[in-house]
């Protein structure tokens, strides 16, 4: 991996591992933003306006994480691989269902995607901590805590 010269006090070998992990999360997070948008645009039914607005909020909040992840990569001397084409090729998330429309189905589909992304972020807290980078571990802690909240906001619609 080609790294940029940097005076940061983290060893190159560790930064390479961190950057690989962060670029996977970048691909996943970009995918997830547009899964939330897909839900925002296509949801229908009696809870339309609440879900339409909630799904847009989910996309907006995830977009902040996309930027945080990409800029952590560049802070570590890496190249942020953040085009839509790279995301489509590299994302580890399952594709969002194309044919659904009712609110319950979108709540189920988006909560599945959020839970998968959140699980991976939580795993990365420990992985990056073990690599000696508490700042990236903190980034993943922030991501997983916020994704847990978004998962609750979405999932609550199908919990009663
Ligand atoms: Fe919109």
CA of 57 to the centre of ligand 1 (A): 10
At the fourth CATH level, the homologous superfamily of domain 12-158 is: Ferritin, core subunit, four-helix bundle (1.20.1260.10)
CA of 56 to the centre of ligand 1 (A): 6
Residue 152 has what pLDDT?
A: 98
CA of 59 to the centre of ligand 1 (A): 10
CA of 27 to the centre of ligand 1 (A): 22
Alpha-carbon gap, residue 160 to 155, rounded angstroms? 10
Residue 36: pLDDT over 90: yes
Answer whether 74's CB lies under 8 Å from 132's CB: no
Select from 30, 134, 34 the least CA-distant residue to 81. 30
For the segment 44-50, the average pLDDT, to the nearest whole number, is: 97
CA of 70 to the centre of ligand 1 (A): 24
List the chain domain ranges: 12-158
CA of 102 to the centre of ligand 1 (A): 17
Residue 160 has what pLDDT?
A: 87
pLDDT digits over 73-96, tens only?
Answer: 999 999 999 999 999 999 999 999
Residue 2 has what pLDDT?
A: 86
pLDDT digits over 94-137, tens only?
Answer: 999 999 999 999 999 999 999 999 999 999 999 999 999 999 99
Residue 137 has what pLDDT?
A: 98
Select from 72, 63, 52, 76 the least CA-distant residue to 1. 76
């Amino acid at each position: 991996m080609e790294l940029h010269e940097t005076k940061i006090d983290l060893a190159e070998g560790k930064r390479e591992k961190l950057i690989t992990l962060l670029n996977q999360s970048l691909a996943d997070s970009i995918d997830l933003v547009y899964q939330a948008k897909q839900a925002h645009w296509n949801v229908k039914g009696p809870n339309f306006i609440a879900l339409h607005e909630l799904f847009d909020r989910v996309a907006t909040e995830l977009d902040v994480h996309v930027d945080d992840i990409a800029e952590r990569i560049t802070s570590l001397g890496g190249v942020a691989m953040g085009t839509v084409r790279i995301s489509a090729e590299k994302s580890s998330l399952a594709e969002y269902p194309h044919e659904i429309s009712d609110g319950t189905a979108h709540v189920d589909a988006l909560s599945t995607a959020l839970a998968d992304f959140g699980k991976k972020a939580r795993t990365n807290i420990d992985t990056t901590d073990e690599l000696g980078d508490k700042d990236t571990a903190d980034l993943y802690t922030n991501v997983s805590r916020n994704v847990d909240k978004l998962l609750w906001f979405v999932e609550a619609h199908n919990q009663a």
